[in-house]
Structure 1
Amino acid sequence: MKNNPMNMMTAWMKVASSYNMMTLSAAEVIARRTMMMASGAMTGPEAMGMVMEKATIFATATERAAMAAASGANPARITSEALKPYSTKTRSNVRKLRR
């Protein structure tokens, strides 16, 4: 059951769907922040947070992927675990910037 090709296909489809949603959110964040920069509305803390979040998310994603790999997870699960911090942060940024 664990190596069923349909299960793996479903797992990869979920990863692809999550990735697509994350990229749409990221595109919106980039557009909104670009407009903030162009109009002079971006604050210092927002700019600093924009830079610092990259390293923090990368470290978290790497840790989650490593933990999944160490526990023997399949490649789709490892990818999903690595993607989660990015997805969470982009959704959070979209919500914050829409206000």
Structure 2
Amino acid sequence: MKNNPMDMMVTWMKVASSYNMMMVSATEVIYRRTMMMASGAMTGPEAMGMVMEKATIYATATERAAVAAAQGADPARITAAALKPYSTKTQSNARKLRG
């Protein structure tokens, strides 16, 4: 069965939109953490978490992309599966740092 080009376009647009939202959240997190570091307000656990979350998210994203690929997902859905953990974490971090 052929993929409908319009469906694929909509799927890629959703991936692009999700990516853009993730980048907005990531920018906010970088800004807020930089301000914390510059002012001396960053705690040790926050600094350690900031470093450790990278490896954890990378592993989760890789796993989800691999599972999607193994299930026969198209490239857009594989990409979306890989981006989801990053998006979730950056949005969570932004909310936490606003508080």
TM tier relative to shorter chain: over 0.9
Residues 16-54 of structure 1 deviation map (CA, whole Å, 9 limit, x = unaligned): 000000000000000000000000000000000000000
Q: What is the CA–CA distance in structure 2 between the aligned matches of 1:32 and 1:4, rounded to whole Å?
A: 42
Q: Please name the residue that 2:77 is paired with.
A: 77
The DSSP-based 3-state class of the residue aligned with 1:20 is helix
Q: Please name the residue that 1:33 is paired with.
A: 33
Deviation of residue 14 (structure 1)? 0.1
What is the letter of the counterpart of residue 11 of structure 1? T
Percentage of matched positions with identical amino acids: 84
The DSSP-based 3-state class of the residue aligned with 2:41 is coil
Deviation of residue 90 (structure 1)? 0.2
Q: Please name the residue that 1:16 is paired with.
A: 16
Q: TM-score, normalised by structure 1?
A: 0.98
What is the letter of the counterpart of residue 72 of structure 1? G
The DSSP-based 3-state class of the residue aligned with 1:52 is helix
Q: How many residues align?
A: 99
Q: Please name the residue that 1:53 is paired with.
A: 53
Which ranges in structure 1 are unaligned for 5 or more consecutive residues?
none
Residues 32-80 of structure 1 deviation map (CA, whole Å, 9 limit, x = unaligned): 0000000000000000000000000000000000000001000000000
The DSSP-based 3-state class of the residue aligned with 2:73 is coil
Two-structure CA RMSD over aligned residues (Å):
0.9
Which ranges in structure 2 are unaligned for 5 or more consecutive residues?
none
Q: Please name the residue that 1:94 is paired with.
A: 94
